[in-house]
Amino acid sequence: MDSMLKTLRKIVQHVAVHGDFAQALRVLVTEVKQAIETDVCSIYLLSEDKTGYLLAATDGLNEEQIGAVSISLDQGLVGLVGRRAEPINLEAAAQHPNYFYLPESGEEAFNAFLGVPIIHQRRVLGVLVVQQTASRRFDESEEAFLVTLAAQLASLVAHAEAVGDNAIRPRVDGQSPQALSETCFKGVAGAPGIAFGQVVVVHPVADLDAVPERQTDNVTQELLLLDRALESVRRDIRKISEEFASSLPKEELALFDAYLHMLDENALAGDIRNRIQRGQWAQGALKQVIREHLDRFELMEDEYLRERGADVKDLGLRLLVYLQDIREKKSQFPQEMILVGDEVTPAMLTNVPPGRLRGIVSVQGSGSSHVAILARAMAIPAVMGALDLPAYEIEGETLLVDGHYGEVFRRPSQRRLAESRELIEQARVFDEELDELKELPCITQDGWRVQLWVNIGLSGDITRSLDRGAEGIGLFRTEIPFMSQDRFPTEAEQMALYREHMTAFEPRPVTMRTLDIGGDKSLSYFPITEENPFLGWRGIRVTLDHPEIFLVQVRAMIKANEGLSGDLRIMLPMISSPAELLSAKVLIDQAYAEVLEEGADVKPPQVGVMVEVPAAVYQARLLAKQADFLAVGSNDLTQYMLAVDRNNPRVAELYQDLHPAVITALREVARAAHAEETPIGICGEFAGTPAGAVLLMAMGYHVLSMNATHLPKVKWVIRNIKRSNARRMLAKVLRMGYAADVNQFMHQQLTEAGLGRVLPHHHD
Ligand code: PEP
Ligand code: MG
């Protein structure tokens, strides 16, 4: 049995590498049949129309029938295993009332039957069956073995289903590929919006792996080649940057400068040159250096930094193209195109004639990839990490991209295309309307004023935030600039960055959060390795233990505000007791006194607490008394209240921001703050959702801080509703016991209030 598990592992790897699902099933049935020493092993999989189970692989039955024999869901023992969702083990199957005889499969003679369901995320996807002619009872260990096997097989089947693998489709003679139906591929949201168009696949023309390592006897010549390649790539990047200059804010354009820096003599170029001087030819030296850098990036825990590995690879390939002199440019572009690639890079966007690019899909990458950042800035819908999408097989096909939900539809139906056309047009008209709200206050129809602020950090998107009418910064995630360094930034470095934001936002208030590392955010130069990082040394716990880091940061914040009229608000993350607030205040007072002593003319900062740990909800009243403001971090608060890791896709469905427990907690915090007359805000993603914004406004949150992208829509919703109406909704919601009910109720209420335009369209 041990060796069977090894076999299974081998098969899983085989499929992961080659994607050959049908072959994997064939190997599996043969191996199982041998291991259990029986006559037949078969796998039945749910048909595409979900009306029955199709014979997908067999060793022992008539192989001609694979893909042809179908057992409906309510038929036979296979159907029964599926319906019960548990194993059925019989000595004499023919005597069971559910026994169902399929003459064409040639199973007449079999007596002993053991069937186990193949289940993925609560859904029965198929049944694994072993049978034997002679009367026999499969023993418990055999049953346990098959259950283990089926559980592992389930994710493979789910994957095959997702990619529309032929092994789980009925065989219909003469079916042309066009007749295949629509398939949906899941990825993550990269940039919001819906788009469709013809696929243009981009791929790197050069292949670093194929470069041989070779010694050269003409070092000078190789160095010359390198210099030329470097110069050409630099020129290309500058050109790309210029092409983007009119369509991108300057912070995003800075990405290209960062690119150029990676080529500097003290970075990649110097490393490559060293290798050449030691005798390696230019291409081999390039390959070695890029590999080493990539290895280092892959080890990084921080997603944002890991994504920078993609930039290094892109630069490496660009250099190789020049070293090998194999430039290839696509010359034909459809009018409406979707750019698809295994790893789409910003540079790949540049060959596309402006105005034709409708959407972007990258098989690799995440919402923090540069391409996703650029796509958001250019308002091009994008889906990242669509791992199952067979990118290289779909050139020229029509693809529909849904950047709200991170979904890609291959062979979209006429109905879906028509619907999307309408949605795109509606969005365009709506965006024009939203633009007109920019200068207007966020005020309900019955005169209740709410402040809409922005969360900033990743790309320093100052311009975009101000363009959308942000009235302040509600959360500056200071850890982001810390992450892109190889040591703690100095006080002067921090001050310059903070001041840039404060100046741009003056006279608006700016909320600077002190360093929030730990959890899923770590610094390469300050590693924290823990079994349970979200419950470990995180946020304020780290900085209170390291006053030298905390004090420098707070001093930088205070100094950065010198001479500016906007309020500086210092916000403390992960507070789980009032004692932490008091300790932090002592340090902040110390920093302020030092800065005054140095002669700076600065106002004392306001000090606020993030309510993102359940303990802080229960002590909100005391915290509100001692702090100048409270701000709920609903991302973490939801994670800690529901005990659901916010980054784990397996439990993503349990992460419900409309969970009644979370809503009640949010209301309690607001009440506590009101009782102490302390301003209360929120800076989690929830504030940027239409339902969330309405409920929070009803609860009396003064400040909603969100990603700039969501700001105009939230303003529109609030300007088009009465607070009295929102309070009525809140009262009903507070009596509900299920997240699904809250969700449905709010959807219906917003639609009835004429606010349906902001609700992202749900696919059926
Ligand atoms: C939060 O937890 O809601 C929050 C705003 O902080 P972060 O997402 O940076 O943890
Ligand atoms: Mg948080």
- pLDDT (tens digit, 9 = 90+) per residue, 108-120? 678 899 999 999 9
Distance separating alpha carbons of residues 611 and 179, to the nearest angstrom: 54
Alpha helices for 561-710 (secondary structure H):
578-597, 614-618, 620-626, 634-642, 660-675, 690-699
Which of 659, 683, 702, 710 is flagged as catalytic?
683
Specify the ligand 1 atom closest to the Cα of 684: 3
Confidence of residue 171 (pLDDT cuts 50, 70, 90): very low
474 lines ligand 1 (CB under 6 A): no
Mutation test of ligand 1: which of 473, 540, 612 has the most ligand atoms closer than 8 Å to its C-beta?
A: 612
> Could you report the per-residue pLDDT of 711-750, keeping only the tens digit for each?
999 999 999 999 999 999 999 999 999 999 999 999 999 9
**Residue closest by Cα to atom 4 of ligand 1:** 633
pLDDT at 763 over 80: no
pLDDT at 18 over 60: no
Bridge partner list, 199 = 338
Q: Which ligand has the nearest atom to the CA of 685?
A: 1
pLDDT at 95 over 50: yes
641 lines ligand 1 (CB under 6 A): no
442 is catalytic: no
Tokens of residue 213, six digits: 């390592």
| 632 SS3 class | strand
Q: Which ligand has the nearest atom to the CA of 573?
A: 2
Per-residue pLDDT, 239: 82
pLDDT at 764 over 60: no
Distance separating alpha carbons of residues 686 and 709, to the nearest angstrom: 13
Which of 370, 659, 702, 710 is flagged as catalytic?
370
2-168 placed in CATH 3.30.450.40: yes
Distance separating alpha carbons of residues 43 and 129, to the nearest angstrom: 6
Residue 167: how many CB atoms within 10 A of its CB?
A: 21
Tokens of residue 65, six digits: 């029938």
Per-residue pLDDT, 69: 82
Specify the ligand 1 atom closest to the Cα of 479: 9
Confidence of residue 592 (pLDDT cuts 50, 70, 90): very high
CA separation, residue 183 to residues 126, 186, 189, 197 (Å): 20, 10, 18, 16
**CATH 3.20.20.60 domain locations along the chain:** 436-758
Mean per-residue pLDDT for 188-194?
A: 88
Distance separating alpha carbons of residues 403 and 408, to the nearest angstrom: 8
Q: Please give the mean pLDDT across all residues of the chain.
A: 88
pLDDT at 285 over 90: yes
Structural element, H or E, at residue 258? helix 250-262
**Residue closest by Cα to atom 1 of ligand 1:** 633
* 8: Cα separation from own chain's centroid: 30
Strand ranges inside 642-686, DSSP E: 680-682
329 Cα: distance to centroid of ligand 2 (angstroms): 45
634 lines ligand 1 (CB under 6 A): yes
**Residue closest by Cα to atom 8 of ligand 1:** 635
Specify the ligand 1 atom closest to the Cα of 632: 3
Per-residue pLDDT, 323: 87
Distance separating alpha carbons of residues 308 and 371, to the nearest angstrom: 11
152 lines ligand 1 (CB under 6 A): no
41 is catalytic: no
pTM: 0.76
Mean per-residue pLDDT for 569-597?
A: 98
Per-residue pLDDT, 174: 43
633 lines ligand 1 (CB under 6 A): yes
Task: Please tell me the CATH code under which domain 208-323 is placed.
Answer: 1.10.274.10
**CATH 1.10.274.10 domain locations along the chain:** 208-323
Fold exhibited by the domain 436-758: TIM Barrel (3.20.20)
Per-residue pLDDT, 332: 77
183-203+330-432 placed in CATH 3.40.50.2300: no
Mean per-residue pLDDT for 96-106?
A: 74
Confidence of residue 486 (pLDDT cuts 50, 70, 90): confident
**Residue closest by Cα to atom 9 of ligand 1:** 477
Mean per-residue pLDDT for 236-250?
A: 78
666 lines ligand 1 (CB under 6 A): no
